[in-house]
Structure 1
Amino acid sequence: MTTFQSPQNNGTSGSKDNDGFGQRVDQIGVDAQQLWTDARSAVTGLSETLDIRGRVDRNPYGMVLAAVGVGYVLGGGLFTPLTGRILKLGVRLAALPFVKDELLGMAEAALQGFQTGQANVNGQNPSAGIGAAPRTSGPGTIS
């Protein structure tokens, strides 16, 4: 069995190593304090930029909803079936105005076509529209 023996020294080199180690520990402490100060100033700067307290004072319910949304996402709720259903509903609700406009346009075109057909049956000028007086003279009119 082999045993490790430390080299013999007169105490000068060991003291020197301990001084270097102490300086390194002191430097690590200074660096940690600097890191803590920088992190605290970054958080303070971010909170001033976001103005969270002012936003809560101006719109407390909106901020509660925002906090619930952030908690839902951070809690892992983003990839759940509930989120899929909510997104489907959101897309449908977002598309509703476009569908409504298209349906109204189609209904107007159908109504205009119906009115034009009625005008042709009654002998009215189709370009004159509903309520126009029938032509009394000219080619193709009934006298």
Structure 2
Amino acid sequence: MTTFQSPQNNGAASGTDTEGFGQRVDQIGVDAQQLWSDARSAVTGLSETLDIRGRVDRNPYGMVLAAVGVGYVLGGGLFTPLTARVLKLGVRLAALPFVKDELLGMAEAALQGFQAGQSNVSGQGNAAGIGTAAPRTSGPGTIS
């Protein structure tokens, strides 16, 4: 906080007040230069960390798409009907592999159950003598 001294001799500025004001202005200038150099170093550090130029060189189309996405979000397109439709489609497409896997699992389980049921029926029929031809015995009324 800056405190100002009131003039001592009926409104005339003394030499110490002028020197104090000049020192404050110089200090503000030094602080502004320090702030500017700190901001430049922060931006330089951020750009080195993100490596924007290298990313653009390695993957130009991806960076264009990223820029379009950032522009869309910053432009207010996040809460629009188009975004809702795109998200709904994205969720459906993302869920498709899970649904496919579940349907394939259910189909395999049903097929295995059907095959197990068929083998049980044929196995029980043979053990009980059902489904096999009984030997013919020759008796008085049969012709062999």
Alpha-carbon separation, structure 2, partners of 1:94 and 1:14: 77
Q: Which runs of 5+ in 2 are unaligned?
A: 1-7, 134-144
Alpha-carbon separation, structure 2, partners of 1:20 and 1:77: 53
| 2:75 is the alignment partner of 1:82 | no
- Which of these two proteins has the greater Rg computed from alpha carbons? 2
Equivalent residue letter for 2:31: D
> Which residue matches 1:131?
none
| 2:14 is the alignment partner of 1:14 | yes
Q: How many residues align?
A: 124
Q: What do residues 80-126 of structure 1 show as CA deviations (whole Å, max 9, x unaligned)?
A: 222221211111111111000011111122223333444456x2x39
> Which residue matches 2:128?
140
Q: What do residues 45-95 of structure 1 show as CA deviations (whole Å, max 9, x unaligned)?
A: 111111111111111111111111111111111122222212111111111
> Which residue matches 2:59?
59
> Which residue matches 1:33?
33
Alpha-carbon separation, structure 2, partners of 1:14 and 1:72: 60
Alpha-carbon separation, structure 2, partners of 1:87 and 1:58: 29
Alpha-carbon separation, structure 2, partners of 1:104 and 1:26: 77
Please report how far the alpha carbon of residue 22 of structure 1 lies from its aligned counterpart in structure 2 after TM superposition.
1.2
* Identity across matched positions, percent: 79
TM-score, normalised relative to structure 1: 0.75
